[in-house]
Chain A
Amino acid sequence: MADAGGGTSASEPAPARPGLERFVYDDAIVRMFAIATIVWGLVATLAGLVLALQLVMPALNLGIPYTTFGRLRPLHTNAAIFAFAGNAIFAAIYYSTQRLCKARMFSDLLSRLHFWGWQLIIVSAALTLPLGITQSKEYAELEWPIDLAIAVVWVGFFGVNFFGTLIKRRERHMYVALWFYIATIVTVAILHVFNNLWIPVGVTHWFRTGEMPSSELLFKSYPVYAGVQDAFMQWWYGHNAVAFFLTTPFLGLMYYFLPKAANRPVFSYRLSIVHFWSLVFIYIWAGPHHLHYTALPAWASSLGMLFSLMLWMPSWGGGINGLLTLRGAWHKVTTDPVLKFFVVGITFYMMATFEGPMLSIKTVNALSHYTDWTIAHVHSGAMGWNGFMTFGMLYWLAPKLFQTELWSKKLANAHFWTGTIAILLYIIPIYTAGITQGLMWRAFDATGQLAFPDFVETVTQLMPFYWMRAAGGLLFILGFLMLALNFYMTWANRPKQYEEAEQWAPALASTPIDDGPSPRSRLRANTEFGHKGDVFFQAHWHRRWERLPLRFTVWVVIAVGVASLFEIVPLFVIRSNVPSIASVQPYTPLELYGRDIYIAEGCYNCHSQMIRPILAETKRYGQYSMPGEFIYDRPFQWGSRRIGPDLARVGGKQSHLWHLLHFENPSELVPQSIMPPYPWLLEREINFEEIESRVRVMAMLGVPYGEAVVRAPEMAREQARQIARELVEQGGPDGMERKQVIALIAYLQRLGTDINRDAPENGEPGSEGAP
């Protein structure tokens, strides 16, 4: 193998070398992950293209429930993050870890279980999300059985295999790329577990009744958090999923593959140490910037903003460290497509990490939040940083993995230029669309009224930008196809049998520890404390950590844990202080069922339920949202984007009939609407009997349902009959009382209305028997 240096073929018997151990790298697993990266990357980008086109041609879901924007968008985001980027980082980690540790992976079996387990999770996601099986938490939509599988595969297979390899390594120093991988593995595990604490409704139903629940109920769960806490946990997770799934492993990739491709060591190893600790420590604090001007406490929001701004330092330090690695090798960039991808990828990293903190500044966020600006920001990071770093790595790996020349360097260069133009064609119109949207929402005329009171006016303005974005997406896929072809043709030219180069290295125990002598205090006249301080600041301890994986990991966990606890604990401590609104009551059983339909249809992908205390918003939507209004919201539905208007106070604004006709065909009522029709809601029936199980789980979580726990089906039927009667009185169709649309109408008509009701006599929110 060309890259194997002095290795000899493993197929030939080699004479034993005293004091050295023989081993062979497992490149088959890297090949598997690399191929999966390309396959799932194409799926993710194709899904993205379909979604982009649906925004300009809403009928493109072809009237099929499984292909609406609300159901496909999570499929696109999950495929891009966990399938494309996920497989890419696994390929990078499996290739580089073995070489940095001078050891084969700890267990071939665990490597294969990891690979196939992860692909199974991706397939499960691709099947369940279009079916409306979702938790509705962004990037954490997957329901509880898949969550369990993720925990097993990530920790049990991947984590054990990785740390096992560190333990049996033959290189004493753990290179900085390995630190980034450690941070990724432990932090993603923590984030995943704490954001996915739920009670499965179907399982409780089965235990209680002994009957198998419907598939709809089987996969349904309610989170243990509600309202403000749920939002906070979700965005602690959401932000750090970006940090520890899309940033730290890719920085590890950069620190390994960029020096390889440039054949230069990293510019400054010292800077990489500061980069690592600063990034790991600061990133975890920044999550609340996703919730500015919401019902989140102001202190948490400000803290998130401050730490986001501090992120400029390590992010740019790391980016500069990457680019300066090319000192003396810039001439190679003009000819080598791998370096071209890396240079542009790092540049996009620096641009995205400049923009992210900027968007966290409250005044900027007031304009950008809920608009397409965020979408442009995300895509410049995903396509530019994650995409281009992955492409660079794959082009560098292809000849090594397939032990032959890259099929076409020209095609790789063509991919580079196509991809670069595609990203610009995608993000520039969407930046423009986002800023246009934000400015139109807040524009007032000379009389002090909203200049664009009809929300749909702000949507139609964006159509030209949406078309350009779709063109950019299409071009990006064309580039991706060039990579797929190049990779396939390189594979086709592989030798009949792969050479497995034999490696030799001494066992770790036999190599000397080169930490140098233990430091002594250099102070003459001082206290014992002073001597200890002087020894501490000589930082000999850190050099020891760098070769002790367990201790290093513990400190990473402490860095992440301390920051998380400092943010999360106060919010949970004040739980009892969330101002109670006496008139806020739990959803009725029928409204709860309707809410679950709202979640399954993915309405949160286009509609927020959070009116910010900003004049333009209160003017358009009504009284700003208050934390006490969400105490029964499991999960919260604040959303992060407004393709359609906010729905926090939609209750009572339209008749039942308007809602029914709007679901049947939105463009009949609002000709310019880009919302797809939902005719199946008028046909599918409510499963009244299973509503009780939903109510019971809510009651287990502390929602004061009173007698509704045992009377749920009966109460739901009663309310459905009432709404169906009113529908007929408004001129609507007869016989709708069993249809799902009635439950959804019940939910929508309730939204935001509690603050205008009279409080129950005892003045407590959610008093007994309230619904």
Chain B
Amino acid sequence: MSSTTGLSVLSVVATALQVLAVLAGAPLVVGGMRQVRARLEGRAGGGIGQPWRDLRKQMRKQQITPQGTTVVFGLAPAVVAGSTLLIAAIVPLIALGSPLDPAADLFGVVGLLFLGTVALTLAGLDTGTAFGGMGSSREITIAALVEPTILLAVFALSVPGHSANLAAIVSATANHPGQLVSPGSLLAFVALAIVVTAEAGRLPVDNPSTHLELTMIHEAMVLEYAGPKLALVEWASGMRLTVMLALVANLFLPWGIAGAQPSVLAVPIGLVAITVKVAALAGVLATCEVFLAKLRYFRIPELLAGSFLLALLAVTASYFFATPTN
């Protein structure tokens, strides 16, 4: 009896720690990527803490709402931030067994990601401006191609473990590291890498630091936000990137994660492990961005169709290349 209460207390602590770490660390991840890019391009950069300073500056500004917008425009930043924090609580980042484990289904997580995307898309349409509509239509085109690919790629990883529960997938990979070099996992990794860059709005799909409105996808939707709501939208974008990088890190490099019944020592180790993994992935992503140019918009469906095909090949490879030991 005491062991089960011990399990639930430490799991709840680990889940709360996950959410707090994503909240506090997301601007640092964005700042770190900008700093890596700046250094590689020969600039001094603003420092890793610059996004935190920007958030603080925007929080102090006056809240301005454009005329003619409705409650959709007002609620969208909260919906995006809330859905991202819920994903951060569900997916296994620090420990495997969270209290929300029955909901840690692949389809639930993808649905929550899509909920955030749709909320911002509707807010962009709600403003009634030309740029908002353009950004929303581009974003939903990309999202329509990206969501099936995420589902297929993570499904390919779930085939060896026979379960779509994310904690089960991570523990199956941790117990059989040889699966990582199978064709299914490699193809799924490439497909997920393309998907993360598309979903988080990074190069080559979308340039997050562009000032030219006609080339914007994500920023065009949020052009009309100002003050605290803009701070919340930017924070939520950073959190989405952090959560997706952490999920990819744990799916393919699951070592260091605390078990389903974590001990008091395993939780800080899990926190340090996920921080190191996310920092490394963010650095690699920023380095690749330096050498890439933004794709022209009509070429993005080609790239996403290619990643969908790779994810489909990953699923067929996982099913049909099953080793006799299974």
Instruction: Say whether A associates with B.
Output: no
B: residues with CB less than 8 A from A are none
